[in-house]
Structure 1
Amino acid sequence: MIDSIITWAVQRRLTAINHFRSHPHEVQRELLRGLLHTAQATEWGQRYGFADAFDGRELAQRLPVSSYEDLYPAIERVLKGEPNVLWPGQVTWFAKSSGTTNARSKYIPVTRESLDAGHYRAGRDMVALATALYPSERILGGKTLSLGGTHGPNPFRPDDSSSRVGDVSAVIMQNLPRWAEFLRTPPLELALLDEWEEKIERIARHVQHVDVTTLAGVPTWMMLLLRRVTALAGADYITEVWPNLRLFLHGAVAFGPYRALFKELIPHERMRYLEIYNASEGYIAVQDEPDSEDLLLLLDHGIFYEFIPADQFEAENPRTLQLDEVELGRSYALVISTNAGLWRYKIGDTVRFTCLAPYRIRITGRTKHFLNAFGEEVVIENADAAIAAACQATGTTVRDYTAAPIYFDASAGSRGGHQWLIEFTKMPPSPDQFVAVLDHTLRQLNSDYDAKRHRDMALAPPQLTVAPAGTFERWLASKGKLGGQHKVPRLSNSRELLDEILRIL
């Protein structure tokens, strides 16, 4: 009966989903008006005249497109407790994320509005869609196992116990209404532990005795947990522990490399997988069709969208398009204005539209080359700095390099990792020291990489492959790209490029 009541309650969101599917431009216009009206008395609202209640095109004329670095002076003031800067009132919660060029972490404001009308609304939508897609399954009949990070004091206000920073998953879980705790596992005291080895062990011991019907989280960590649960239970498959398991809501990294691994652990033919495109800044899209990789763009979740065409990615003042101007098959960088006070903010992701009625997208990458196969978010700036530190420590120099993921191999029992193909001008006296400094520097620069490398649990140490002299030149020549401005991509989120270069060794 409880399952039926909850299912009825969440499926009431289907009407709203169908409305923004059918009336996307109207919904986005109204959403922008609401954002501007709410923030009109803030410092930014007064500076840019939000009281005029202008439309998206006027927004593009009045406000600049901003990166995190551009917005940071204002965000820092918010972090320090100043109210009414970007959004009304004082913000007390911040999502901590990596990926910036000049800081180990970035801090994204999380307001009550962004939680209620963004993260939580999208969570209800995902459950509503899942129960509608799979009505014969008892998706809400048991517990949802959700894995998250942790949170701690705001470093800018360490004496203010009400202000916290942490992974967005931890922020969301900590602020969930009490009734929602009835639906999920493990309890908060386990879910929010900050020591990952202890966390995985204690959660595994707790949840093996729970009726888990749904999984929610990042594939990297979920795979570690499922393996530990099966080991503790002496089982071959996780469905021996949780016979009613039916759904995995996954996000943060591409699921392709993990699909076969999850199939081995969960061979049940009725197991379903749905993707979520969420970020510290909010929920962007969800998978609303079971047999498609396309994601439905969420249009009434506190985010107003603009899109930068590919030829404008590097422009100082990029031209943006409104939703009614985008075209199929083209790559766009996302620009968002949100109910957390992020105004015309470049989120850093690129998407491609696969459908315009309704609007569906696929994630195509980042505006810069990156490594994020396991949620580590290593950007080129991180890689270049780590290479430089390793060269200095070992007295060598690097002519060229590229790096790509090493995916999990269940049959060999191996973890994921990174393979670095490096062409040295001279070999370092100690290749092991080179790798150790490279790894250590990446951990210092990037908190997400550091978390994945903690005690080698989710990410193995970097693997070095030495390229003979002239390797990268030969590859560029084979592509007709030798000389001029052509460069070898430093980082790639797939193995296609690296494997192609390895074949010419």
Structure 2
Amino acid sequence: MENPHETQLRTFNYLIGKAANTEWGKRYNYKGINSPAQYRKEVPLNEYDDLEPYIKRMMNGSFNILWPGFVNWYAKSSGTTSSKSKFIPVPKENLRGCHIKGSWDVVTLLYKGRSDARIFERKNLVMSGSLSNYEGNHMTTYGDISAIMLYNMPIVGRPFYTPDFRTALLPDWDEKIEKMVQICSREQVTMFGGVPSWTIVLFRKILEATGKDNMLEVWPDVQAYVHGGVGFEPYRSQFERFIPSDDFTYQEVYNASEGYFAIQNDLESNDLLLLLDNCVYYEFLPMSEFEQDDARTIGLEEVELDVNYAMVISTNAGLWRYMTGDTIKFTSLSPFKIRITGRTKHFINVFGEEVMVSNTDKALAKTCDEFNVKVSDYTVAPIYIKEGTKGGHEWLIEFLKPPADLGQFSKRLDESLQEVNSDYEAKRFKSMALENLTVESLPTNTFYKWMEKRGKLGGQNKVPRLSNNRKYVEDILSFLKDDNGH
């Protein structure tokens, strides 16, 4: 925090020096790179698709490719343009120096915010995913980054974790939740973490099994919830009903498969402290230049307040000038603090499903082909979880040739989306977190008239395919109701 630029330069030199003899390092002459400016000039910006051929070879046993040695751990998540899942390498240096170090930072800053924290006196619960063996190479294991971190948890933390590791890593979510209800409802939990939608599922089942009114009656000494990955505001009121306490802490973190990037260090502010010594070298691309061929990234020393930047990272996971897809704004330059502002592409990630436009386009095209249906335009928004209900996605579709059975079309569209996005598939498992998507057929020219009303007609203006809130969907439905589309 006190020496940000020196810290980032030290991180840069470590990464370039360490990878100099890898295949990637030799290709871009890392031994000849002496400064961040030269690095930006010599090495191109990359998305996952650019690195995927290298990663596939690594998973199949090749070594010294993007990072020295053989990498046998891979964090699985969704969101690529051409693959159902992406696999992010997690070398041991990255696991220890970024992800686990980030977890220690969370604990440190939580204790700084409330000195009465009792993390190392009672139990802590984290909703994790599961692990699988890679079919192409029995030495390679992949799974959620949460599962990889749990499996490799430092020994000092293991006595304070619930449930047992075998239960926590079960691949069957139905079985996992049921066993967690039995085990965790009897523990004295002081802190918990996880994606809000799955945490809500667990809480509802615990209250149903115990007959209690809220989680304070189950865990009277619970103190904190660490959350990240999706926007928390739609869930806050529900959590306040689950835990009706004025002495309860919500701490936001910015962690992803690609790295542990930022943590809320002041519990009275929503800003996130950028972690500069977690083996991540940062660059920032102004969104005003994002689509330009000559777009220029800048380093930490050039960033300004309240400018929307796409975040670019280089890490000891072998991700080089990698565009995360996230956009941020700086809210403080001393120390450097940020807020996540969105994604470089339209997306829905209210429930941790990471649905991208490429996913919905592919799923819709496949379903239309099967049903001999044609679509003019569409938009999708989340359906928020409310008391006694589950979440989901609402599709507004303008058909050129509608399906004979809209219900069957909706069901198959949901299945198609699961086939192209593993995170959505996980959230839809037995409808535990998300219900089947819903489709509303719109009258002809609805989108055109709506765009006309907003003054958004023209070649550069497009119907927003996906939104992480209900602004567009509610506006379209209101437009139809009030003006009958005229």
Shared fold, TM over 0.5: yes
Unaligned runs of 5+ in 1: 1-20
- CA contact 1:64–1:317 (8 Å) conserved in 2: no
Q: Distance in 2 between matches of 1:245 and 1:181?
A: 18
Return the offset for 1:316.
4.6
Deviations 1:125-180 (Å, cap 9, x if unpaired)? 111111111113434331110111001112331xx2x3201111111111123332
SS of equivalent to 1:425: strand
- CA contact 1:139–1:246 (8 Å) conserved in 2: no
- Which of 421, 444, 460 pairs up with 2:419? 444
Q: Distance in 2 between matches of 1:121 and 1:53?
A: 28
- 1:490 corresponds to: 465
SS of equivalent to 2:428: helix
Q: Distance in 1 between matches of 2:253 and 2:246?
A: 22
Q: Distance in 1 between matches of 2:328 and 2:136?
A: 34
- CA contact 1:31–1:300 (8 Å) conserved in 2: yes
- Which of 98, 103, 118 pairs up with 2:98? 118
- Which of 19, 24, 32 pairs up with 1:39? 19
- 1:15 corresponds to: none
Matches within 5 A, 1:105-144: 105-144=85-124
Deviations 1:407-449 (Å, cap 9, x if unpaired)? 0111xx1101011111112431000111012101100000000
- 2:408 corresponds to: 433
2:60 paired with 1:83: no
Matches within 5 A, 1:68-467: 68-157=48-137, 160=138, 162-316=139-293, 318-410=295-387, 413-467=388-442
Matches within 5 A, 1:42-53: 42-52=22-32
Matches within 5 A, 1:471-482: 471-482=446-457
- CA contact 1:393–1:434 (8 Å) conserved in 2: no
Unaligned runs of 5+ in 2: 481-486
Q: Distance in 1 between matches of 2:466 and 2:459?
A: 20
Q: Distance in 2 between matches of 1:388 and 1:43?
A: 39
In the TM superposition, structure 1's runs of 4+ consecutive aligned residues that sit over 6 Å from their partners are none
Q: Distance in 2 between matches of 1:137 and 1:125?
A: 14
Return the offset for 1:470.
2.1
Return the offset for 1:53.
5.4
- CA contact 1:296–1:361 (8 Å) conserved in 2: yes
TM-score (norm 1): 0.93
Return the offset for 1:299.
0.3
SS of equivalent to 2:396: strand
Deviations 1:13-55 (Å, cap 9, x if unpaired)? xxxxxxxx12111100011111112222212222223234522
Deviates further, 252-261 or 173-182: 173-182
Q: Distance in 2 between matches of 1:50 and 1:395?
A: 53
Change (3 A) 1:300 1:390: same
Q: In structure 1, what residue type is equivalent to 2:42?
A: R
Change (3 A) 1:270 1:219: same
Deviates further, 350-359 or 384-393: 384-393
Q: Distance in 2 between matches of 1:136 and 1:185?
A: 21
Return the offset for 1:406.
0.5
2:43 paired with 1:67: no
SS of equivalent to 2:278: coil
- CA contact 1:471–1:504 (8 Å) conserved in 2: no
User: Matched residues, percent identical?
Assistant: 45
Change (3 A) 1:443 1:315: same
Change (3 A) 1:315 1:68: farther
Q: Distance in 2 between matches of 1:392 and 1:82?
A: 39
Q: Distance in 2 between matches of 1:351 and 1:284?
A: 12
- CA contact 1:389–1:437 (8 Å) conserved in 2: no
Q: Distance in 1 between matches of 2:316 and 2:245?
A: 41
Deviates further, 177-186 or 338-347: 177-186
TM-score (norm 2): 0.96
Q: Tell me the C-alpha RMSD between the 2 structures.
A: 1.3
SS of equivalent to 1:384: helix
Return the offset for 1:58.
1.3
Return the offset for 1:314.
2.6
Q: Distance in 2 between matches of 1:307 and 1:240?
A: 46
Q: Distance in 1 between matches of 2:196 and 2:448?
A: 37
Return the offset for 1:107.
0.8
Q: In structure 1, what residue type is equivalent to 2:458?
A: G
Q: In structure 2, what residue type is equivalent to 1:342?
A: L
Change (3 A) 1:395 1:48: closer
Q: Distance in 2 between matches of 1:438 and 1:285?
A: 36
- CA contact 2:348–2:356 (8 Å) conserved in 1: yes
Q: Distance in 2 between matches of 1:477 and 1:468?
A: 15
- CA contact 2:33–2:39 (8 Å) conserved in 1: no
- Which of 475, 478, 484 pairs up with 1:503? 478
Deviations 1:317-372 (Å, cap 9, x if unpaired)? 63211111111111111111101111111111111111111111111111110011
SS of equivalent to 1:353: strand
Deviations 1:79-119 (Å, cap 9, x if unpaired)? 11111111111001001111001111111000111111101
Q: Distance in 2 between matches of 1:270 and 1:278?
A: 25
- CA contact 1:423–1:468 (8 Å) conserved in 2: yes
